[in-house]
A = this chain, B = another copy of it.
Amino acid sequence: MIYIGIDLGGTAVKIGAVSASGQVLGKAEKPTRAERPYGEVIRDMAEGIREILGQLNLPEDQIAAIGVGVPGAVNNDTGYVTDCTNLGWMNTDFRGEMHRYFSCPVILENDANVAALAEAKVGISKGTHSSIMITLGTGVGSAIMMDGKLWTGSHGVAGEIGHMILVPDGVACNCGRMGCVERYCSATALAEQARHYSLTYADTMILQMAGGKKENITAKMVVDAAREGDRLGVQLFTNYCRYLAMTIDNVINFFDPEMIILGGGVSKAGDFLLKGVLSYIPAYVMGAERAGTRVVLATLGNDAGIIGAALLGLK
């Protein structure tokens, strides 16, 4: 039997067949084009699954389950995506639509939870007592794992670390409030800050990398410029690391997990990010015991979403 995992993103839908032990056996990818009716996106998913079955030369009844990681809120009782602003999906009957193509169990989960599950089952946090995975991408998400199980809260919405208030009355956030973690610690925030300050730092390497057009600036350019010692790049990245360290330290002070895992786009900065963040840990963590929490990088990379979604089917 194989387990299908679907990583539903704003740009692409990644589909994979995974073994019970978490090994990726085959993959397919489709553009999301979220402006389409959701039925067309799910039709493309079904097509991707059939492509993989073809690659592996397996019949449909070898699929044990289909799991999907959604960048939003889901309800597994109804099989609906309840609120996914990024895709514009509200109360969308995902399971019902998928059942038009495949009759196996279809399980939905938030994408940050899915990535955390993957790391806890076959990645860096395997065997830990407790861990928090923080995803640094377009937004900032997190997932809480205890004793190998996800803690999703009393209303199924735990882990919204991106909307904890980091700076009272700080930068305005999409959510309508001010000073949220997401406005300081997401890839989006890092790129936005660079766009803003590139007006006054006209000689910055970041602007050169973007071909002189500030609207083309990405978070990766800021990180790369910081590595090269570019003045604006270093300032913005240092500030980013400091705010991320405060956020991590707040989680450690409150929850005292065994491990914190950094994933998502910005985590691709690797040891450069880790070193920058770790330098601020003693400044904000209370007491020596808490400093025992290990802060590490995610290890499963781009496949985490596929693997975690597939492993949802193992339950």
Picked from B142, B165, B289, the residue with its CB within 8 Å of the CB of A246 is B165
Picked from B164, B246, B256, B293, the residue with its CB within 8 Å of the CB of A254 is B164
Indicate if A196 sits at the interface (CB-CB under 8 A). Answer: no
Picked from B152, B166, B249, B251, the residue with its CB within 8 Å of the CB of A256 is B152
Q: Is there an interface contact between A168 and B246, defined as CB atoms closer than 8 Å? A: yes
Indicate if A92 sits at the interface (CB-CB under 8 A). Answer: no
Picked from B168, B175, B256, the residue with its CB within 8 Å of the CB of A167 is B168
Residues of B within 8 A of A165 (CB): 246, 249-250, 284
Question: For this complex, into which size category does the number of interface residues on chain A fall?
Answer: 35 or more
Q: Which residue of B lies closest to A259 (CB)?
A: B154
Residues of B within 8 A of A83 (CB): 287
Q: Is there an interface contact between A257 and B292, defined as CB atoms closer than 8 Å? A: no
Instruction: Evaluate whether A154 and B177 lie within 8 angstroms (CB atoms) in the complex, with A165-B249, A249-B165 already known.
Output: no
Q: Is there an interface contact between B129 and A254, defined as CB atoms closer than 8 Å? A: no
Q: Is there an interface contact between B254 and A158, defined as CB atoms closer than 8 Å? A: yes
Instruction: Evaluate whether A130 and B154 lie within 8 angstroms (CB atoms) in the complex, with A163-B286, A167-B168 already known.
Output: yes
CA distance A256 to B159 in the complex (A): 8
Indicate if A261 sits at the interface (CB-CB under 8 A). Answer: no
* CB of A161, distance to nearest CB on chain B (Å): 6
CA distance A246 to B264 in the complex (A): 27
Q: Which residues of A130-176 have CB atoms within 8 Å of chain B's CB atoms?
A: 130, 142, 144, 146, 151-161, 163-168, 175
Q: Is there an interface contact between B286 and A160, defined as CB atoms closer than 8 Å? A: yes
Q: Is there an interface contact between A160 and B290, defined as CB atoms closer than 8 Å? A: yes
Q: Which residues of A163-206 have CB atoms within 8 Å of chain B's CB atoms?
A: 163-168, 175, 177
Q: Is there an interface contact between B254 and A159, defined as CB atoms closer than 8 Å? A: yes
Q: Which 10 A-B pairs have the closest CB atoms?
A: A153-B256, A154-B258, A158-B256, A163-B286, A155-B289, A164-B250, A160-B253, A157-B289, A164-B253, A165-B246
Contact surface of A with B, Cβ cutoff 8 Å: 73, 83, 128-130, 142, 144, 146, 151-161, 163-168, 175, 177, 243, 246, 249-251, 253-258, 283-284, 286-287, 289-290, 292-293
A to B CB contacts below 8 Å, 18 in the list: A83-B287, A128-B154, A130-B153, A151-B255, A153-B256, A154-B257, A154-B258, A156-B289, A158-B256, A159-B256, A160-B256, A160-B287, A163-B286, A164-B253, A165-B249, A250-B250, A251-B254, A255-B255
